[in-house]
């Protein structure tokens, strides 16, 4: 045995067979600094065990936590023009979209599913802050309108989990047009006498707060969620006054009448099930079958 066999070959072998360690193996609590193993955090619905801090939740995890058995049918969403204004700042808008799609695996910031919640058919939309800050553009507007139309045609409640920084600036006036469009679609749901339930998650701001996120028959929020139109710093600089403690947080808005309930994520599914049954006048534990024309389940 020589130096090449004893030293060089093992080092080359270890270099070639080096295992990649995921960057998100451990997650740090923003409030306490507690480190949580990512699998434990996922099993706890992305709530930090020690502090109870609610981390952001991706749409697939959110839908799995709401629907019976973690199964639902994806609602097909219409395609829209990718870059109608040919927008460019430091980077082309089409390149930003490509990066966001590669990062999240989604086409845009909103996902809509149809399935059963405690045996009752419901339509659920989830906004993904990880996709360009959950910004409201034409694709997200079309997704919400399609979800509301699906709820009307199938006679189900519509639940939306809002999380957004506001309208998408790269689409200009076309993104702002989604505010009245979604409002009109919500009115059609109301005319059909079907419930519209909004769950405000962290953060929900800008044009989303100024439209569909504040039009629910029932307004729920997750603990500690930032909810408002402009950010606290902008407001302080405008009015030149110090804001109250906890201003624009879910608990503050509940105490001042803008939110009906602040619900812990572990209790969200049961709370939504009770609300849907109450508003639909459906007896408890009634099994309602999904229509035969529904597509194959999105998850197993």
Category of 155 on φ-ψ map: left (φ > 0), alpha (ψ -120 to 50) or beta: left
Please state, in angstroms and rounded to a whole number, the distance separating the CA atoms of residues 290 and 288: 7
Taking the CA atoms of residue 172, residue 212, residue 201 and residue 281 in that order, the dihedral angle to the nearest 10 degrees is -160
Radius of gyration of the chain (CA): 22
Residue 22 pLDDT > 60: no
Higher-scoring residue by pLDDT: 222, 16: 222
Q: What is the pLDDT of residue 184?
A: 97
For residues 157-179, average pLDDT: 96
Residue 151 pLDDT > 90: yes
The predicted-structure confidence for 219-234, as pLDDT tens digits, reads as follows: 999 999 999 998 888 9
Secondary structure (3-state) at 164: strand
DSSP state of 109: S
Secondary structure (3-state) at 298: coil
For residues 143-157, average pLDDT: 98
Domain limits, the chain = 19-55, 56-280
Q: What is the pLDDT of residue 296?
A: 46
The predicted-structure confidence for 278-289, as pLDDT tens digits, reads as follows: 999 988 764 555
The predicted-structure confidence for 258-297, as pLDDT tens digits, reads as follows: 999 999 999 999 999 999 999 999 887 645 555 555 544 5
Residues in the chain: 300
Tell me how many degrees the CA angle 281-287-290 measures, rounded to the nearest 5.
Answer: 100
- What pTM value is reported for the model? 0.86
Q: Please, which residues have CB within 8 angstroms of residue 70's CB and are 6 or more apart in sequence?
A: 63, 64, 299
Please state, in angstroms and rounded to a whole number, the distance separating the CA atoms of residues 161 and 197: 9
CATH assignment, 56-280: 3.90.226.10
Residue 59 pLDDT > 80: yes
Q: What is the pLDDT of residue 50?
A: 87
Helix then strand then coil, % of the chain, to nearest 5: 40, 20, 40
Q: What is the pLDDT of residue 284?
A: 74
Angle of helix 178-191 relative to helix 138-154, nearest 10 degrees, comes to: 10
């Amino acid at each position: 045995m020589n130096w090449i066999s004893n030293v060089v070959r093992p080092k080359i072998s270890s270099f070639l067979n080096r295992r990649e360690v995921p960057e998100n193996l451990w997650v740090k609590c923003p409030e306490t600094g507690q480190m949580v193993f990512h699998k434990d955090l996922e099993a706890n619905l992305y709530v930090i065990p020690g502090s109870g801090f609610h981390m952001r939740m991706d749409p697939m995890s959110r839908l799995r936590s709401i629907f019976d058995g973690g199964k639902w049918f994806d609602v097909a969403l219409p395609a829209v023009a990718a870059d109608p204004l040919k927008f460019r700042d430091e980077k082309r808008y089409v390149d930003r979209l490509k990066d966001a799609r590669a990062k999240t695996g989604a086409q845009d910031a909103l996902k809509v599913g149809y399935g059963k919640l405690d045996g009752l058919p419901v339509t659920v939309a989830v906004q993904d802050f990880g996709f360009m800050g959950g910004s409201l553009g034409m694709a997200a507007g079309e997704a919400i309108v399609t979800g509301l139309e699906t709820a009307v045609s199938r006679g189900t409640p519509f639940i939306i989990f809002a999380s957004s920084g506001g309208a998408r600036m790269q689409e200009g006036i076309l993104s702002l047009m989604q505010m009245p469009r979604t409002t009109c679609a919500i009115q059609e749901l109301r005319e059909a006498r079907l419930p519209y339930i909004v769950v405000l998650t962290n953060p929900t701001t800008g044009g989303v707060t100024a439209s569909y996120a504040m039009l629910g028959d029932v307004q729920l929020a997750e603990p500690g969620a930032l909810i408002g139109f402009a950010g606290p710093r902008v407001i302080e600089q405008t009015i030149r006054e110090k804001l109250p403690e906890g201003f624009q947080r879910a608990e503050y808005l509940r105490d001042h009448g803008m939110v009906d309930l602040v619900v812990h994520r572990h209790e969200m599914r049961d709370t939504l099930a009770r609300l849907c049954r109450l508003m639909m006048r459906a007896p408890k534990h009634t099994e309602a079958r999904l229509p035969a024309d529904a597509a194959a389940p999105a998850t197993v």
